[in-house]
Amino acid sequence: MVKIAPSILAADFGNLGRDVGALADWGADWLHFDVMDGHFVPNLSFGPPICSAIRPQTKLPIDVHLMVEEPSRFVPWFLKAGADIITIHVEAEKHLHRGLQQIREGGCKAGVVLNPGTPVVAAKEVLPYCDLVLIMSVNPGYGGQKFIPESLEKIAELRRMIDERGLATDIEVDGGINPETAKLCLDAGATVLVAGSAVFQANDPKDMIRQLRCGR
């Protein structure tokens, strides 16, 4: 089953409660929450208080993508703020193994994130501790960027690695997802697609989410 995770980075922040509340009606599966610290990535976004504030506005799982230096520092904050899934970048965390266990012990699903320049093998040793691996298909920091086509080979390689070990790890893809790139990612073995601008700039977000599933 394909899961669609709209990124609220592309929502109308002046009407955030309204947009968050609409996601379930539009057929979304998860809410993707992009946290940026101005260090690991150039941009700033939002943090735990906004996560707590939107928690009562939706029943969808909140998928927190930590684009911050030393992300495990913030794990306790997001566990408390109502996150369901927390992912940490391999490039930003010295103690990946410990960070992932901390997330699972807190009752959330855990995952690692790979930047476009990071090889898939960087996730290999921690794969048994991951419920998902997130492949960045743009350089993190901004919404609305163009999909990097080389990401497809990384998705396929990760799919082989997961299947060879008989694991059920989800493969999430983030950045530049539209109905065309969605199909390519799903064909390569992805199971979760993040989409910011495609969903929030669509005239009919419900129909866009349906299209992103590519009939699966």
Which residues are annotated as catalytic? 34, 174
CB of residue 125 to ligand DX5, shortest distance in Å: 24
**C-beta neighbour count of 4 within 10 angstroms:** 25
CB of residue 164 to ligand DX5, shortest distance in Å: 28
Nearest alpha carbon to residue 191 among 135, 144, 122, 112: 135
Quote helix, strand, coil % in the chain, to nearest 5: 40, 20, 40
3 binds ligand DX5 (CB under 6 A): no
User: By rule CB under 6 A, what count of residues binds ligand DX5?
Assistant: 22
Site string for ligand DX5, 5-44 (x = CB under 6 A): --x-xx---------------------x-x----------
**C-beta neighbour count of 183 within 10 angstroms:** 16
Residue 22 partner contact from ligand DX5, Zn ion, none using kind-dependent CB cut-offs of 5 to 8 Å? none
Beta-strand runs (E) in the chain: 3-6, 31-36, 62-67, 85-89, 109-114, 132-136, 170-174, 192-195
Contact 100, 88 (CB under 8 A): yes
CB of residue 43 to ligand DX5, shortest distance in Å: 8
Looking at residues 48 to 67 of the shown chain, list those that interact with ligand DX5 (rule: CB under 6 A): 65
65 binds Zn ion (CB under 5 A): yes
172 binds Zn ion (CB under 5 A): no
Looking at residues 105 to 144 of the shown chain, list those that interact with ligand DX5 (rule: CB under 6 A): 138, 140-144
Contact 94, 70 (CB under 8 A): yes
- Nearer Cβ to ligand DX5, position 101 or 179? 179
